Amino acid sequence: MKLLEIERKFLVKNTAFKEESYAHKRITQGYLNSNPARTVRVRISGKQAFLTIKGIPESGGTTRFEWEKEIDLEEAEALLPLCEPGSIDKMRYLIKAQDKIYEVDEFFEDNEGLIVAEIELNAANEDFLKPNWLGEEVTGDEKYYNSQLGKRPFIKWTRAEQRKDSQ
């Protein structure tokens, strides 16, 4: 069982990644605890379900503790109503890039318009292929954590930015 996650996160500039995707799956998830020091997530991904605990990210946000266990789908469905307000609904696309896999999440509902790519690495300073659809790096920026998107969805940021621009 792997207990350390080393991951980099990026915004996605366009939907060209969909042409490179070899698989995709709808994901619904909620948080029993969204405190960044110890998030506890319930996720339904297709016909599978998982309970995940993540620790606080180390400096830079690249590395953190992660424990995940597959649970019964019925158990996950029973746990979701107990989650904090603000569930996440997204489509996850898998894209192979050399020997790595990008997970690209296209968000729906209050997070519609946000597309984020993540890549898991073996070391924080590991080199990896960066496809042309990859945008700004947002590793360590808490507002892009799924646990925070449930509390403060993307639509609230864009509305706030539009109000600033119109003033």
The pLDDT tens digits for 17-76 are 999 999 999 999 999 999 888 999 999 999 999 999 999 888 778 899 999 999 999 999
Domain count, the chain: 1
Ramachandran bin of 60, using left for φ above 0, alpha for ψ from -120 to 50, beta for the remaining angles: left
Which DSSP symbol is given to 82? Answer: G
The pLDDT tens digits for 97-122 are 999 999 999 999 999 999 999 999 99
Which residues have a catalytic role annotated?
Answer: 31
Tell me the two tokens of residue 107: 């968000």
Look up the domain containing 140 and give its range.
4-166
User: Which residue do the tokens 């069982």 mark?
Assistant: 1
CATH assignment at residue 115: 2.40.320.10
